[in-house]
Amino acid sequence: METVVFILMILVCFNFILKQTYRKVYSVAGISLICALFVGFAYPYAIEQSKSQISDWLANTQLMLDISVVLTVEVVIQMSFCMLAAYMQTAGEVKKRTLWAYRALRWFPGILIFPVLFSCLVAVIFSFPGVSFSLISWSLAAVVVLVIPLGSLFMKWLIPEKELRLELLFLCNALIGILGVIATVNGTTAVKGISEVDWAALAGLIALVIAGAAAGLVFRYVKIKKQFK
């Protein structure tokens, strides 16, 4: 399980750097500064952690289920950005609300990077016993404030095509979602299955599907009719 979590952390960092390639230089500098300040001021909390406590967190089913919710929300937001960016590249003229939604999704840096940075800070503190905690923390903060913009520039140089980076970002988020389920659920499910079929619930689900499909067909018919007029 720790190996899966480590791979997930690497993917989160890669996904974060890749997302920065779609942002302006000043916004990349701003989020880099925020991440660096987070690392610099987090050492009083990082020194209170221990390896055994982190293992207990990974074994805490309820905590992992809560984390899975946060992870799912972020993956959905990032995938929405990818699909909306692809739509804007092919649709030509777009509405203002679509443009504002794209800008809002582009500005969203992600929140999973902060737990990853905190874990890195804890690991670095464990690796350098006897060294000043504040020195370690602010040294790592200096590394972070340089790695994020330089990593963004390197990613642009390595993959200059925006479409290819967008596809890679989408696939990376899909992989994060899959690994997140494996890492956070940890062999448990929130709802237990039953052996009997609830026919009333099944009938209700079928009715909802039919009603939704009918509403969609009516909406599409009205929209096409307006376009012809």
The pLDDT of residue 49 is 72
The pLDDT of residue 34 is 92
- Selection from 108, 61, 58 nearest residue 82 by Cα: 108
191-217 core/surface letters (b: 16 or more CB in 10 A; e: else): eeeeeeeeeeeeeeeeeeeeeeeeeee
Q: Per the structure block, which two tokens stand in for 12?
A: 């989160």
The pLDDT of residue 63 is 66
Whole-angstrom CA distances from 216 to 196, 210, 212, 213, 223 are 32, 10, 6, 5, 10
Instruction: List pLDDT tens digits, range 60-93.
Output: 666 666 777 788 888 888 888 888 888 887 776 7
Percent of the chain with pLDDT over 70: 84
Instruction: List pLDDT tens digits, range 117-131.
Output: 888 888 888 888 888
